Amino acid sequence: MKVGISALRAPKDGRILIETGSKEETEKISTSITETCGKELEAKVQELRNPRLAIYNIPEDITIENATKTIRE
């Protein structure tokens, strides 16, 4: 996809937050996740903050350490 992820966080509420350098990159990741994993994951672009993406319904076997690899795949 050739997008830059500036931060990847996992709050305690079961989400993964991804920060990118621009809104276009955030939209590109969101679209890709929705097309690929739309039945299992829900990607929402947050407004009024740095370009950030929240992913919900994360399976328990995905951790913050392997989330980047899983998203790339």
Coil, helix or strand for 70? helix
> How far is the C-alpha of 7 from the C-alpha of 28, rounded, in Å?
16
Q: Containing domain of residue 60, as a range?
A: 5-72
pTM of the model: 0.57
Percentage of the chain modeled with pLDDT above 90: 0
Total count of domains within the chain = 1
Q: Is the pLDDT of residue 19 over 80?
A: yes
pLDDT at site 73: 72
Q: State the DSSP code for 2.
A: -
For 38-59, write each residue's pLDDT tens digit. Answer: 788 888 887 765 667 777 888 8
DSSP labels, 24-64:
HHHHHHHHHHHHHHTTT-EEEEPSSSSSEEEEES--TT--H
